[in-house]
A and B are shown apart, each in its own frame.
Chain A
Amino acid sequence: MTTTLNIVILGMGLMRLNQLKQYLRTTIPSDIEIRWCNIASSDLHLVVIQDSFLELNNIQKILNKDIPILKIQHDHTHANLDENCFSFPCDDLTALKKWIERTVLLKQVQSSVQQINQPNAVKYFHEMITLDRAIEAPKYLALGKQAYVLIDHKHQVWLTQPILLQDFDCSHLTLHHAALNDVIAIKHQSVSTHSLIQFIWNSAYKNGSDKVFPRDQAYRIHTWPQPIDEQDYRVVLKLAACFSRGATPQQIHLLTQIPLQTIYQFLQACEFTHSLTKIPESESSFNQKTQVSDTTTNRISHFFSKLRRKLGL
C-alpha cells in the first residue's frame, strides 16, 4: 500500500480549507503522508468537495468514478457524517475517521496487494497450519467480498474490523502476501484480534464438505471450534460436546437428529485444523444406552429449551 495519500479539496474558502486539512491530518494515521493536490493530478486517492460544486458539469466530467468522494456541507443541524456527506464544522471526528478507514485506506490495501494464484483459499489455509510455528512465516491478507483480514502466522491470530466480522464471507476468499505497509495500515485501524485456528476452522466449515466419513468409525476432537456465526452456535457446540467425548457419526446422528452431511462438514473442518483423531469404536462414549430416566432427561431438556428461548439462542 502507498504511504502517501493524494488528496484534493475543492470549493472551500481559505479558512475552511485549512480547517478541513487539519481534520484530515488528525484522522489519517500519522505515518501516512498527505500530499495536497489539484484536480488535474493523475493519481488522486480522495476528493473532498463542497456539496454544491458537485453538480457542476465541469466537475462531473473531471471526477473519476473510482476515486472516493467526500462531500462537504455547512450545516450544524445534521449528523457529522451521513453517507458520503460530512457536515462542517465538526467537534467529533470519530465518524470521519471510520469513513476514511473504510473508504480510503481499505481501498488502498485492496488495490495494492499482489494476488496469489490460488483457486481455493481454504486449501491454502491448510498448508499454513501444516507449516505453522515457522517464525518467519509471512503475513497474509485474506480478502472477502466486503472485508479483509490480516493473518499473522507467527502469533496465530487474525485481525479484522469488529464490525465486519459477521459480514465476512469465508467462501469467497482470496489470499495475498501482506506488505509491511498493509500491516501498518490495518493495525492503525480499530481492529479486533481472533484465533487463527478458529478462523481457519470457520472458513473450512462454511465451505461445506465433499468428504463422506465412515459412519461407524469413532472420532474424538481435542480442540473445540469457536463458531463465528451465531446461527451455528447450537449445532456446532452440540457436535463439539459429543465428539470431544468420542463418538461415531452414526451415533450422533441418531441421538441428535443432526443431518449426517452437517456432521461430515463439522468433522472435515476439525480434520482440516488437525483437531480430529480416529479412535477405536470401543472408546466411543455413546456405545451403550444411557441410564438416565426419560423424566429427568425431559425435565432438563425442557429447562434448557426455556433458557435458550429466553436468551435467544
Chain B
Amino acid sequence: MILQQHKIVFAGTMGAGKSAAIQTISEIDVLSTEAKNTDTQRHEKLLTTVGIDYGEITLEDGIKIGLYGLPGQERFDFMWSVICQGAVGCIVLIDHSNADAIKSLEFYINQFKQYGLNLVIGVTHLDEIQHLGLNQYQAWLDEAQINLPLFFIDARKKQDVLLMIEALIAQYEAQLMTPTTATT
C-alpha cells in the first residue's frame, strides 16, 4: 500500500459514496479492492470496498496527496489509525437512506475524534428517502455539543467534494490562527 506524507481520508458506512467521492477528484484511476458484498443486511450494494481505495493528486511541484477511502466495515478499523496519521483531515460520509444513519454518525465521530483530525461530515443519498428530516443530523450534533461542518452532498459531484475539501482546509487554517490549538 502506498502511504503518502500528505493525505485526505474518506470514511463512512458501506455504500455512502467514499469510492465515488475519490473518483471525482483523483488524477489517477482509483485503485480499489472490491469484492462481493456478503453483508446485504447493511447495504444492497453488490460490490464493496474490502481494502482501501486509493486515489492521488499531484501538485505543481510534484508533491503527491493520497486520497484514501477506508473500508466501510467496522471489522477493518485496525487500519484506520495508520492511515489517518498526519492526514489533512477526514471526510465522513453518512448514507441518509440508512435507517441507522444517526448511529453511524455517532460511531464515526467518536472513532475519528480520537485521532485528532479535522472532520467534515457529508450526508449522501438524499434523494432516495424523503420521509426522514435532514435536520436530525444537526440536532444530534447540537445535543452532543459538537461543532463540525455538516453538508448535504452528492458524492458523485466534484463541486460537492471540493466543498468538503475546502472546509477541511478552512478548519486547518483557522486552527493555525488560534493559539490554544496551534501546533508547531
Contacts and interface: CB of A to CB of B under 8 A. Distances in A.
Given A224-B150, A309-B60, A292 B184 contact: yes
Residue from the set B166, B171, B173 with the largest chain A CB neighbour count within 10 Å: B166
Contacts of A300: 172-173, 176
Contacts of A313: 162, 165-166, 169
Given A156-B134, A194-B126, A226 B170 contact: no
Contacts of B180: 285
Contacts of B132: 155
Contacts, number: 135
Interface in B52-66: 57-61, 63, 65
Interface stretch (A18-26, A68-76, A98-106, A234-242): A234-242
24 contacts: A154-B133, A155-B133, A156-B135, A191-B127, A193-B130, A193-B134, A197-B135, A224-B149, A230-B159, A230-B162, A230-B163, A238-B170, A242-B177, A245-B174, A286-B177, A286-B178, A289-B179, A306-B59, A306-B60, A307-B59, A309-B60, A310-B60, A311-B25, A313-B166
Given A234-B166, A292-B184, A198 B174 contact: no
A154 B132 CA distance: 10
Contacts of B165: 307, 311, 313
B133 A245 contact: no
Contacts of A222: 142, 147
B101 interface: no
Nearest to A300: B176
Interface of B: 6, 25, 57-61, 63, 65, 126-127, 130-135, 138, 142, 147-152, 154, 159, 162-163, 165-167, 169-174, 176-184
A306 B171 contact: no
Contacts of A286: 177-178
A41 interface: no
Contact of B174 (A241, A292, A306, A308): A241
Nearest to B118: A241
Nearest to B157: A162
Interface in A221-267: 222-224, 226-227, 230, 233-234, 237-238, 240-242, 244-245, 255
Interface in A25-82: none
A115 interface: no
B133 A290 contact: no
A194 B163 CA distance: 15
A202 B170 CA distance: 19
A307 B65 contact: yes
A222 B63 CA distance: 35
A156 to B, nearest CB: 4
A289 B143 CA distance: 32
B179 A291 contact: yes
Given A195-B135, A286-B178, A309-B60, 13 more contacts: A157-B130, A191-B127, A192-B127, A193-B130, A194-B126, A197-B138, A198-B152, A223-B138, A230-B163, A245-B178, A307-B169, A310-B57, A311-B25
A297 interface: yes
Residue from the set B148, B150, B173 with the largest chain A CB neighbour count within 10 Å: B173
Residue from the set A223, A242, A307 with the largest chain B CB neighbour count within 10 Å: A307
A296 B25 CA distance: 27
